[in-house]
Chains A and B, each alone.
Chain A
Amino acid sequence: MSQPIRLTVNGTDLERSDLDDAERLLDTLRWRLGLKGTKEGCRTGDCGACTVLVDGESTLSCLTLTREVEGTRITTIEGVRGEPAGPNVLTAFGAEPALQCGYCTPGFVMALTGLLQEEGSTHRTSNLVDELEGNLCRCTGYRSIIRAIGALGDELR
């Protein structure tokens, strides 16, 4: 145990002094803060299930030490409605529906929200698809996810 860490998670300011130095953001979110919507998959950066936004940028929480993100603003799936692009992404994924088991889904929603909010984002469906290559889904064969991305359309953003 060491220096307290300050974080803003889904709009709430927190200060914790019970974290291990080597603790991953994924574990802090899930097991200390109870935010289990962020999913634990591979823990090696290969599946995307653990994606969250750190200062608006899509980030793999399994490869991030909590200490590294001291002082940042973190958004998880539980807070995605408060992000500018969040509601539209949720609507598009829900309408399709672009999910089956749903385990990969929070990761996709966060990654896509992050991409759409990138400064000066000019993403088209095709390059969004390229950008999401790091998010794996084993159930859907991705076709419904691609349709959901397409349905987001430019006007919805």
Chain B
Amino acid sequence: MTRSDGPAKLEGRAEFGTDVEVPGMLWGALVYAPVAHGRIRRVPLSGVRSMPGVAAAVGPDDLDRLLPGGGDRNRPVFPRTEVMYRNQPIAAVAARTASEARAAADAVRADIEELPALIDLETRFPEWPGPEAARSEGIIAHVHARHGDPDGAFRSADLVLTETYRTSGIHQVAIEPHACVARVDGGVWHVTTTTQTPFGVREDAAEILGIREADLVVEGTWVGGGFGGKGAAFLEPYALLLAAAAGRPVRLGFGYREEFLLGRSTLPSIIRIETAVSGRRIEARRVRLLLDSGASLPGRDFATGYSIGFLLGPYKIPAFEMEGYAVRTNKPPFGPHRAPFAPQCVFALESHMDELARRLAVDPIAFRLEHVWAEGDPTQFGQRVGPFGARAALEAARARIAAWRTDAPAGHGIGVALGFWSTGTGAGGETRLRLSERELVIEQGEREIGSGSVIRGLVAVAERVTGLPAESIRVAYSDTSTAPYDTGVFGSRTVGALGQAVEKAAKTLLGILGERLGTPPVRLEFAEGRIAVLTNKGLRGLETLLTDTERTAGGLLVGGRHFGTPGTIDESRVLDGTFYPYSDFTAAVHACEVNVDPETGAVRVVRSAAFHDVGVVVDRPMAVAQIEGGVAMGLGEALTEEALWSSDGRLLNPGLLDYRIPTLGEVPSIEVVPIEGFLGAGPFGAKGLGEPPVIAVPAAVANAVAAATGARVFELPLTAERVVRALKRLEGPARA
């Protein structure tokens, strides 16, 4: 088995966040707001405090008593005055059993004056907002940028294509729900939790609770899938507060219904793209974005300025204007979801690129190749494009679909899309390597979330640098009080960024051994359970090279640290808001073949291929697994996954029966084609691979559906109903 966590996970011995149990533990339950928007008059808790088994009940009135300064004023644990979304936690209870806690939480009758709620973007903006809307109530972020002379280019264009796309809210649906166990002990706040970012939870939860980071210890567990949903603090502050009130450890966990009702993920958007073409060259593009931010707070929108650039795409466009609004609504706050909002942007952009190609009667791949960035080209903000495998990936896809065309049945459609992502981002992290006579230990602060990036990726980096085999290398975990700092598993950064820290530390290690030997090591070797150093003078056992102190203290210890240096953007193009530079330029091309039932509109993807600009493959089985999983997730986003809200903010499909994720029989064959040689900043030139696999899938499916039927679907997901409607439009008078 290539991953060392395999046996424990297979046999049920791995302890996940949901499994954690400590002696004397109470069970927590949250009290949920019954309205989507309202003014809180009172949350009375004295009644429930005397219910059977209840050990503590906490609400807004208890914050000042339990937290220094009452906690963060902007992001209080419980809202003091205003409910911002339906089911927002407004109080919490801890009791002897789960059912006693639930019964007590359900018995709370909060006095809340209901206020009008804003649920739907189009209610807020029936027309596209003008610039005056930027500073209006409920816009939590506004971004605006321009370059060149887009207006002139639009006036003189041969062809102008204007389209509007819509995308839906989605959920991460990790199979493991959120859960944590908290305790407060001798002034130290402690929480064991299923998280992608132990240090991120520490920072976030400490801020919310108003305590010092040094007084909070976060311990990660095995994580049963993250996909962005286990990033920042979520349940931890509630659990910690309950533990403080009860004076005993408290477990707080979500059921799936709560995962759906309260989960923070991608919310709906409306996207308009206009492109001006002369001959067959794109001369200018205007993009506008309305993004539902849910109950996010001002200053906490990360998606708009980051994602809107993906609507221009990795293409040479001489003039552009882009403007985006993050709109506050009465839904749970927007949160990261594997490549946050990129599949949605790429769906709109790459559908639009295919439509342009169709009107120009150009092959869609040729059209992309004529415009795609190459290394050295300037981005929209004048940053130089680094090594970028988009062209090679598109060419590989072109060859593959030419082969498919020879045996695809009549009526099937083939679609391709180019996704672009910037990988390896996120501040950084450090590691300590500990080399003893028997093993090399990688001490670090992340937890494995499934992809293998920690358990296998970091090991593969150490293997390559030192020459040691995987069985002599171990990844060690500890809590935030002792682990080296790391920003966490997100942004496709573990191998790319933390991997660099491991690479540096491993090189330092070899350097130290070289000094002691008086000659540089060729590599380390492992035989009969012992580590030795190979030089061109022969093999030396490690025991003769370690000092007495090192042997007593568990080995030769070296540190490695990597903090990315962000690129810069030409700020003169920015008119408002914040835009971000890219780190590693990473291309992801997806191709698929679909069959569409003309009666029902049902779309079946029959085969697919994924072409990934990985820099170098660090571990082939892990890379393949990562891409297969991402493609399946993208298929869900393409075809079925859609959160549905009523006009009063009720989530209508809070469960797996009505929110359908792909099942075993629904994922087609996926051919994985790594495109190597366009090196990133990661170890040996590796680029991140956590997020890219999902990005281009919805767009490729939409393009394949259009190729099969001639009908363009302008909204994600491509449900059967939307496909049927698009087919009807084709037949109807609107065809002209």
Task: Tell me the A residues contacting B by CB distance below 8 Å.
Answer: 20, 30-31, 34-44, 46-47, 49, 76-78, 80-81, 90, 93-95, 97, 99-106, 109, 129-130, 132-133, 135-146
Point out the residues of chain A lying under 8 angstroms from B11, CB to CB. 37, 77-78, 80-81, 90, 106
Nearest 3 Cβ contacts at the A-B interface: A37-B12, A102-B9, A101-B450
Separation of A46 and B621 alpha carbons in the complex (Å):
29
Contact across chains for A141 and B655 when beta carbons are under 8 A apart: no
B582 at the interface (CB under 8 A from A): no
Point out the residues of chain B lying under 8 angstroms from A36, CB to CB. 12, 15, 19, 21
Separation of A8 and B470 alpha carbons in the complex (Å):
40
Given contacts A97-B6, A101-B174, A102-B222, contact A141 B667 (CB under 8 A): yes
Interface 0/1 of B232-273, CB less than 8 Å to A: 000000000000000000000001100000000000000000
B23 at the interface (CB under 8 A from A): no
Contact across chains for B225 and A139 when beta carbons are under 8 A apart: yes
Instruction: Give the dominant DSSP class at B's interface.
Output: loop
B193 at the interface (CB under 8 A from A): no
Contact across chains for A94 and B16 when beta carbons are under 8 A apart: no
Nearest B-chain residue to A43, judged by Cβ: B255
Q: Which of A36, A137, A143 has the most CB of B within 10 A?
A: A143
Given contacts A101-B450, A139-B450, A141-B667, contact A46 B7 (CB under 8 A): no
Point out the residues of chain A lying under 8 angstroms from B629, CB to CB. 100, 138-141
Given contacts A36-B15, A47-B175, A97-B3, contact A141 B630 (CB under 8 A): yes
Contact across chains for A144 and B256 when beta carbons are under 8 A apart: no
Interface residues of B in 7-49 (CB under 8 A from A): 7-16, 18-19, 21
Q: How far is the CB of B664 from chain A (nearest CB, A)?
A: 5
Interface 0/1 of B116-150, CB less than 8 Å to A: 00000000000000000000000000000000000
Q: How far is the CB of A123 from chain B (nearest CB, A)?
A: 14
Contact across chains for A142 and B12 when beta carbons are under 8 A apart: no
Given contacts A40-B18, A42-B656, contact A101 B449 (CB under 8 A): yes
Given contacts A133-B664, A136-B175, contact A95 B1 (CB under 8 A): yes
B631 at the interface (CB under 8 A from A): yes
Point out the residues of chain B lying under 8 angstroms from A130, CB to CB. 665
Q: Which of B11, B12, B256 has the most CB of A within 10 A?
A: B12
Given contacts A136-B663, A143-B670, contact A103 B12 (CB under 8 A): no
Q: Which of B256, B621, B664 has the most CB of A within 10 A?
A: B664
Nearest A-chain residue to B27, judged by Cβ: A31
Given contacts A102-B224, A143-B667, contact A138 B175 (CB under 8 A): yes
Point out the residues of chain A lying under 8 angstroms from B665, CB to CB. 129-130, 133
Point out the residues of chain A lying under 8 angstroms from B19, CB to CB. 30, 36
Point out the residues of chain B lying under 8 angstroms from A39, CB to CB. 12, 16, 18, 175-176, 224
Point out the residues of chain A lying under 8 angstroms from B18, CB to CB. 39-40
B387 at the interface (CB under 8 A from A): no
Separation of A146 and B372 alpha carbons in the complex (Å):
37
Given contacts A94-B7, A141-B628, contact A103 B16 (CB under 8 A): yes
Separation of A94 and B669 alpha carbons in the complex (Å):
21
Beyond contacts A93-B10, A129-B664: 18 other A-B pairs, Cβ-Cβ < 8 A, are A37-B12, A39-B12, A40-B177, A41-B176, A46-B656, A76-B12, A77-B12, A80-B11, A81-B11, A100-B225, A102-B6, A102-B8, A135-B664, A140-B629, A141-B631, A141-B633, A141-B670, A143-B667
Point out the residues of chain A lying under 8 angstroms from B222, CB to CB. 101-102
Contact across chains for A138 and B12 when beta carbons are under 8 A apart: no
Q: How far is the CB of B125 from chain A (nearest CB, A)?
A: 34
Separation of A129 and B664 alpha carbons in the complex (Å):
7
Contact across chains for B664 and A94 when beta carbons are under 8 A apart: no
Separation of A39 and B12 alpha carbons in the complex (Å):
8
Contact across chains for B2 and A97 when beta carbons are under 8 A apart: yes
Separation of A125 and B653 alpha carbons in the complex (Å):
33
Q: How far is the CB of B637 from chain A (nearest CB, A)?
A: 12
Point out the residues of chain B lying under 8 angstroms from A102, CB to CB. 5-6, 8-10, 14, 222, 224, 450
Nearest B-chain residue to A30, judged by Cβ: B19
Contact across chains for A94 and B256 when beta carbons are under 8 A apart: no
Separation of A135 and B9 alpha carbons in the complex (Å):
16
Q: How far is the CB of A28 from chain B (nearest CB, A)?
A: 13
Separation of A15 and B611 alpha carbons in the complex (Å):
57
Given contacts A141-B630, A142-B664, contact A31 B21 (CB under 8 A): yes
Contact across chains for B10 and A136 when beta carbons are under 8 A apart: no
Contact across chains for B633 and A101 when beta carbons are under 8 A apart: no
B165 at the interface (CB under 8 A from A): no
Separation of A142 and B1 alpha carbons in the complex (Å):
18
Given contacts A138-B173, A143-B670, contact A78 B656 (CB under 8 A): no
B311 at the interface (CB under 8 A from A): no
B451 at the interface (CB under 8 A from A): yes
Contact across chains for A97 and B225 when beta carbons are under 8 A apart: no
Q: How far is the CB of B338 from chain A (nearest CB, A)?
A: 10
B452 at the interface (CB under 8 A from A): yes
B553 at the interface (CB under 8 A from A): no
Separation of A141 and B256 alpha carbons in the complex (Å):
20
Point out the residues of chain B lying under 8 angstroms from A144, CB to CB. 625, 628
Point out the residues of chain A lying under 8 angstroms from B655, CB to CB. 42, 44, 46
Point out the residues of chain B lying under 8 angstroms from A100, CB to CB. 225, 450-452, 625, 629
Interface 0/1 of B622-637, CB less than 8 Å to A: 0001001111110000
B373 at the interface (CB under 8 A from A): no
The 8 Å CB contact of B13, one of A37, A49, A93, A146, is A37
Q: How far is the CB of B692 from chain A (nearest CB, A)?
A: 14
Separation of A129 and B10 alpha carbons in the complex (Å):
19
Q: How far is the CB of A50 from chain B (nearest CB, A)?
A: 11
Point out the residues of chain A lying under 8 angstroms from B621, CB to CB. 97
B527 at the interface (CB under 8 A from A): no
Separation of A81 and B255 alpha carbons in the complex (Å):
30
Separation of A60 and B449 alpha carbons in the complex (Å):
25
B661 at the interface (CB under 8 A from A): yes
Point out the residues of chain B lying under 8 angstroms from A41, CB to CB. 175-177, 256
Point out the residues of chain A lying under 8 angstroms from B630, CB to CB. 141
Q: How far is the CB of A74 from chain B (nearest CB, A)?
A: 14
Nearest B-chain residue to A110, judged by Cβ: B12
Q: How far is the CB of A18 from chain B (nearest CB, A)?
A: 12
Nearest B-chain residue to A89, judged by Cβ: B10
Contact across chains for A140 and B628 when beta carbons are under 8 A apart: yes
Nearest A-chain residue to B449, judged by Cβ: A101
Contact across chains for A101 and B631 when beta carbons are under 8 A apart: no
Nearest A-chain residue to B626, judged by Cβ: A100
What are 19 contact pairs spanning A and B, CB under 8 A? Answer: A34-B21, A38-B12, A46-B656, A47-B256, A47-B656, A77-B11, A78-B11, A80-B11, A90-B10, A99-B9, A100-B452, A101-B223, A102-B14, A103-B450, A132-B664, A135-B664, A136-B663, A138-B174, A141-B632
Point out the residues of chain B lying under 8 angstroms from A30, CB to CB. 19
Q: Which of A47, A81, A100, A106 has the most CB of B within 10 A?
A: A100
Contact across chains for A44 and B632 when beta carbons are under 8 A apart: no
B657 at the interface (CB under 8 A from A): yes
Nearest A-chain residue to B20, judged by Cβ: A36
